[in-house]
Amino acid sequence: MPRSVPRTYSSYCRDATALLGGLIRTARIERRLTAQEVADRAGISRGLLQRIEKGDLKCEIGAVFEVATIVGVTLFDADRAALPGHLQQTRDRLALLPKSVRSKAGKVQDDF
């Protein structure tokens, strides 16, 4: 039952995706790669690449990140080699946190 309501996004979320798409497009052109070339390399269709560069919110994150990797856009601003380290670090931190959370339903800020 995959969603009967269109789904909504915060503007920050939309901006972030659009920015990522723009960065990808910029990087691709600067490296003089055709859309088809990148699409093939990423194992996706040219149409999907177009949507990614346009900042379409409904693309697999895997496809987007893969393309970003290919054209040389760094995620997290983090050094490529440093990523696995951060990953382990995050896993360790998670191990220390409580397994489940009791919600006190305290009001939280919600201004996007």
Partner DNA sequence: CTAATGTGGCTCATACAACGCCCATGAAAT
Partner DNA sequence: ATTTCATGGGCGTTGTATGAGCCACATTAG
Binding partner at 95 among DNA, a second copy, none, C-beta below 5 to 8 Å by kind: none
| Separation between Cα atoms, residue 89 and residue 73, nearest integer Å | 23
| Separation between Cα atoms, residue 71 and residue 89, nearest integer Å | 27
| Residue 24 touching DNA (CB under 7 A) | no
Taking the least distance from each CB to DNA, the nearer of 98 and 106 is: 98
| Residue 94 touching a second copy (CB under 8 A) | yes
Contact 91, 66 (CB under 8 A): no
Q: Find the shortest distance in angstroms from Cβ 46 to a second copy.
A: 13
60, amino acid identity:
E
| Residue 110 touching a second copy (CB under 8 A) | yes
| Residue 29 touching a second copy (CB under 8 A) | yes
